[in-house]
């Protein structure tokens, strides 16, 4: 689909730097086929503040090599732990770039959100690196036409959900019969949203900041022989068609019903797989119950969603920020590790760094 460009052999050195945000899925991707093809389509809010900032410098190598020459720096320190993941990623994306073995790579990366916050950095990390690679390809081939669709395609090969971090405010990834141009290979922008969603807030309550109990690779695999997988994939496709109408029209009651059901369905899949897992913590349930009570008491359309972990994302329209923050600070921080939470909002995707 995305052929490699012919590069100019006379260019010895190129630099590129991009930031890319994390994203939060409303209809969840859980289950995949090789290579990184989702079992159902998904949609997410692109975030704004939880970002990875990555710079890549490439220098020409005199002789073509058999392997990749990569150095990875995290927070300015040489880091060996990420290298195997990045080598595997380079192997996957090699058919789509012609220069990966002709240059040596110095990759420097930094997350704007706290370390070990339990927020997956793979989506923002692979989106930022993919944007740099697509930009470098442009520079090496004397072109100036950054292709976000290729960046999403490449990011998908690093981490599926990374495909949705390239643009914003909302991204759809995965074939859907009712969504023209939807694709399993790269995410597309969904712009046709009601005013209320354009500055939607996501306050992330950090319930468990440790390593994920189940990696997403293992989680996706558990859907292979799952007794409910077929129904789950159908449910997600139906939720997505329904949610698109809601996002256009601004019906917050329906928005809450669909997105909370998605979050709980994702966790239900993990509770009913073999082996089974409970990824929520008691604090997660406390928060959910408080959110339901707060909604009933105040009529403020505050809702929650969950990733494959115990942290809780609180979603709400910007107009309610004061009341919601007061609620978080008085009732919910007690359930967060070190009383920590992160306030984010809907954003626009990758940006070049000066
Ligand atoms: O991109 P992965 O392989 O880390 O999978 C992400 C899965 C969820 O975050 C649980 C859901 C989603 O759609 O983002």
How much distance in Å is there from the Cα of 144 to the middle of ligand 1? 32
Pocket test for ligand 1, best of 20, 23, 28, 237 (most atoms within 8 A of CB): 28
Per-residue pLDDT of the chain (354 residues; tens, 9 = 90+): 798 999 998 999 999 999 999 999 999 999 999 999 999 999 999 999 999 999 999 999 987 778 999 999 999 999 999 999 999 999 999 999 999 999 999 999 999 987 766 677 899 999 999 999 999 999 999 999 999 999 999 999 999 999 999 999 999 999 999 999 999 999 999 999 999 999 999 999 999 987 778 899 999 999 999 999 999 999 999 999 999 999 999 999 999 999 999 999 999 999 999 999 999 999 999 999 999 999 999 999 999 999 999 999 999 999 999 999 999 999 999 999 999 999 999 999 999 998
What pLDDT is stored for residue 132 in this prediction? Answer: 98
Task: Please list, in sequence order, all residues whose beta carbon lies within 8 angstroms of the beta carbon of residue 225, skipping any fewer than 6 positions away.
Answer: 274
3-state helix, strand, coil in the chain (%, to 5): 40, 25, 35
CATH assignment of 197-345? Answer: 3.30.70.890
How much distance in Å is there from the Cα of 282 to the middle of ligand 1? 22
Kindly provide the residue ranges of all beta strands, DSSP E only, lying in 95-231, ordered along the sequence.
Answer: 103-111, 170-173, 188-189, 201-205
Bridge-partner residues for 15, per DSSP?
Answer: 57
Q: Which atom number of ligand 1 is nearest to the Cα of residue 159?
A: 1
Pocket of ligand 1 (CB under 6 A): 25, 28-30, 42, 120, 122, 159-161, 216, 307-308
What pLDDT is stored for residue 116 in this prediction? Answer: 66
My answer on whether omega of the bond before 124 falls inside 30° of 0, hence cis, is no
How much distance in Å is there from the Cα of 219 to the middle of ligand 1? 9
What pLDDT is stored for residue 354 in this prediction? Answer: 83
d(CA 10, CA 16): 18
Q: Which atom number of ligand 1 is nearest to the Cα of residue 160?
A: 1
CB atoms within 10 A of CB 93: 21
How much distance in Å is there from the Cα of 187 to the middle of ligand 1? 14
Cβ burial, residue 26 (10 Å; 0-12/13-18/19+):
buried
DSSP 338: G
Pocket test for ligand 1, best of 25, 43, 45, 161 (most atoms within 8 A of CB): 161
How much distance in Å is there from the Cα of 6 to the middle of ligand 1? 34
d(CA 174, CA 112): 28
Angle subtended at Cα 48 by Cα 213 and Cα 250, rounded to the nearest 5 degrees: 95
Q: Which atom number of ligand 1 is nearest to the Cα of residue 266?
A: 10
Fold of 13-189: Ribosomal Protein S5; domain 2 (3.30.230)
d(CA 248, CA 250): 6
Q: Which atom number of ligand 1 is nearest to the Cα of residue 162?
A: 1
d(CA 80, CA 64): 24
Task: Please list, in sequence order, all residues whose beta carbon lies within 8 angstroms of the beta carbon of residue 303, skipping any fewer than 6 positions away.
Answer: 255, 256, 259, 260, 291, 295, 314, 315, 316
How much distance in Å is there from the Cα of 351 to the middle of ligand 1? 22
Annotated domain spans of the chain: 13-189, 197-345
User: What three-state secondary structure class fits 140?
Assistant: helix
How much distance in Å is there from the Cα of 306 to the middle of ligand 1? 11
Long-range contact pairs involving 31-38 (C-beta distance under 8 Å, separation at least 24): 31/220, 31/223, 31/224, 31/226, 31/229, 31/232, 31/233, 32/160, 32/220, 32/223, 35/92, 35/157, 36/156, 36/157, 36/160, 37/184, 37/185, 38/160, 38/173, 38/174, 38/184
Report residue 303 as tokens: 């809702």
Question: Tokens 């797989």 sit at which residue?
Answer: 273
How much distance in Å is there from the Cα of 160 to the middle of ligand 1? 7
């Amino acid at each position: 689909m995305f052929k490699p460009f012919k590069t100019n052999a006379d260019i010895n050195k190129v630099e590129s730097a991009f930031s890319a945000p994390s994203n939060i899925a409303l209809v969840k991707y859980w289950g995949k086929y090789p290579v990184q093809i989702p079992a159902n389509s998904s949609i997410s809010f692109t975030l704004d503040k939880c970002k990875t900032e990555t710079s890549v410098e490439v220098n020409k190598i005199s002789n073509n090599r058999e392997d990749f020459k990569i150095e990875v720096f995290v927070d300015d320190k040489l880091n060996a732990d990420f290298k195997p993941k990045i080598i595997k990623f380079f192997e996957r994306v090699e058919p789509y770039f012609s220069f990966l073995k002709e240059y040596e790579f110095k990759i420097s990366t930094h997350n704007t959100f706290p370390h070990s916050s339990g927020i997956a950095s793979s989506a923002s990390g692979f989106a930022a690196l993919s944007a740099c690679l697509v930009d470098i390809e442009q520079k090496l081939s004397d072109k100036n036409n950054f292709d976000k669709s290729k960046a999403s395609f490449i990011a998908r090969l690093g981490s599926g959900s990374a495909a949705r971090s390239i643009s914003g405010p909302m991204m759809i990834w995965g074939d859907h019969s009712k969504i023209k141009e939807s694709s399993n290979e790269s995410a597309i922008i969904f712009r046709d949203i009601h005013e209320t969603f354009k500055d939607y807030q996501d306050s992330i309550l950090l319930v468990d900041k440790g390593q994920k109990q189940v990696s997403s690779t293992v989680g996706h695999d558990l859907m292979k022989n799952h007794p409910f997988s077929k129904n789950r994939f159908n449910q997600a496709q139906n939720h997505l068609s329904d949610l698109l109408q809601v996002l256009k029209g601004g019906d917050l009651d329906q928005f809450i019903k669909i997105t909370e059901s998605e979050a709980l369905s994702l966790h239900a899949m993990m509770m009913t797989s073999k082996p089974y897992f409970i990824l929520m913590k008691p604090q997660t349930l406390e928060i959910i119950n408080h959110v339901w009570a707060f909604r009933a008491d105040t009529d403020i359309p505050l809702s929650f969603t969950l990733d494959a972990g115990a942290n809780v994302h609180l979603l709400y329209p910007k107009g309610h920020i004061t009341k919601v923050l007061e609620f978080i600070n008085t009732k919910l921080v007690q359930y967060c590790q070190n009383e920590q939470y992160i306030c984010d909002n809907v954003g626009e995707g990758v940006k070049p760094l000066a």
